[in-house]
Amino acid sequence: MAAVTGTIVALGGLGVSAAQAIGQNKAMKKAQAASDLASKELKAINEQNAFKQLQVPTLGTQLAQQSQAQRESQAVNMLQGAGAEGVIGGIGQLAVAGEQGDLQNAARLDELKFERDAMQSQAQQGINSRKQQRDFEIGFGEKADAEAKRAQAEENRNAAIQSAVGFAGSALTSASKLVGPYGNKNLGQGELGKTQWSPEQFAKFGNVGKDGGVGLGETTDLDFESIGGMSNQKFKQFMKGLTSGQKQMLFNQQ
């Protein structure tokens, strides 16, 4: 009965060890999925350049051009009233003034474009820098996480293997005690060869193959030392010659 219980306990422990390994594997897969999802969400962050759609303000330049055109028109009208000489002299001056105004407007417009391009470039540089930092942190974190999981998986695997081997060995040891008396020499015969009985036990056992025992102190043909040196075939023959009561005595010793 003790051998049966030991075998059941050992096999049960083996099953528990396997179940723990499976559960650990599921937990690792779940953690990996959560890590992958977090990495995916971080990589999906997409910043927008707030200055990308910024337009150069041209309203002031347009108003200045319109005002300049009006002044030039008024000046031409005034020069026409001054006669041909006034027109000839005034037109030259008016052309020079108009050219200067155009150059000033163009320079201001270029300045506004430069300021806009500078703001867009700075904003994009910040976006790229933050993205590189996120990618680095994600990659570094994933590597560290993968290394930690690999180390943990290796540790759990080794522990599971050792546990399974231990339980398997216990199961085999316990199961060996369940094998009938006709089994292999190493599963009972060796133990019988080392058995030591009291005179009362020898008397109760009696001679091989005969029930009833013998008188206390009388000689029996039961020799444990000889049993230990028997071949498998002779041991089987020996076992076949025993009565059920004698078998019970030999293999149910406490």
Q: What is the mean pLDDT of residues 200-211?
A: 86
pLDDT per residue as tens digits for the range 70-99: 776 766 666 566 555 555 556 666 666 666
Q: Could you tell me if 108 and 61 are in contact, meaning their C-beta atoms sit under 8 angstroms apart? A: yes
Percentage, residues of the chain above pLDDT 70: 67
Q: Residue 148: which of 35, 43, 17, 21 has the closest Cα?
A: 35
Measured between alpha carbons, how far is 218 from 215 in angstroms, rounded to an integer?
5
Structure tokens at 190: 């060796």
Please give the Cα distance from 166 to 90 (Å, whole number): 113
pLDDT tens digits along 137-188: 888 888 788 778 878 888 888 787 877 666 666 665 665 555 444 444 434 7
- Do 109 and 56 contact (CB within 8 A), yes or no? yes
Q: How does pLDDT run across 110-142, given as a tens digit for each residue? A: 888 888 888 888 888 888 888 888 888 888 888
DSSP 56: P
Q: Dig out the tokens for 68 from the structure.
A: 């300049």
Assigned token pair, 49: 């350049």
DSSP-derived letter for residue 252 is S
Three state DSSP letters for 202-247: HHHHCCCCCCCCCCCCCCCCCCHHHHHCCCHHHHHHHHHCCCHHHH
What one-character-per-residue DSSP string does 45-90 give? -----TTTTPPPP-HHHHHHHHHHHHHHHHHHHHHHTTHHHHHHHH
Q: Give the total residue count for the chain.
A: 254
Which burial class, exposed, middle or buried, applies to 205 when counting CB atoms under 10 A from its CB (0-12, 13-18, 19+)? buried
Give the whole-angstrom CA distance, residue 65 versus residue 102: 8
pLDDT of residue 31 exceeding 70, the answer is yes
Q: Exposed, middle or buried by CB within 10 Å (0-12, 13-18, 19+), for 77? A: exposed
**CA gap 158, 151 in Å, rounded:** 11
Is 196 in contact with 224 (CB distance < 8 Å)?
yes
